[in-house]
Amino acid sequence: MGDKIIIVEGKTDKERLLDIIDESIQVICTHGTLDKEWLEEWIDVLEGEEVYILVDADSAGIKLRQQLKRAIPNARHLYTRKMYREVASTPLEYLVKILDDAHFTIHEKYHPLLRQI
pLDDT digits (tens, 9 = 90+) for 11-40: 999 999 999 999 999 999 998 778 888 888
pLDDT, residue 45, reads 83
For the chain, the C-alpha Rg in angstroms (whole number) is 14
H or E element that contains 26: strand 25-29
Kindly give the interhelix angle for 92-101 and 11-20, rounded to the nearest 10 degrees: 70
Q: For residue 75, give the amino acid letter.
A: A
**Are the C-beta atoms of residues 87 and 8 closer than 8 Å to each other?**
yes
List the one residue out of 100, 87, 89, 103 whose CA is nearest residue 112.
100
pLDDT, residue 1, reads 54
Q: With 80 as the cut, is the pLDDT of residue 115 above it?
A: no
pLDDT, residue 37, reads 83
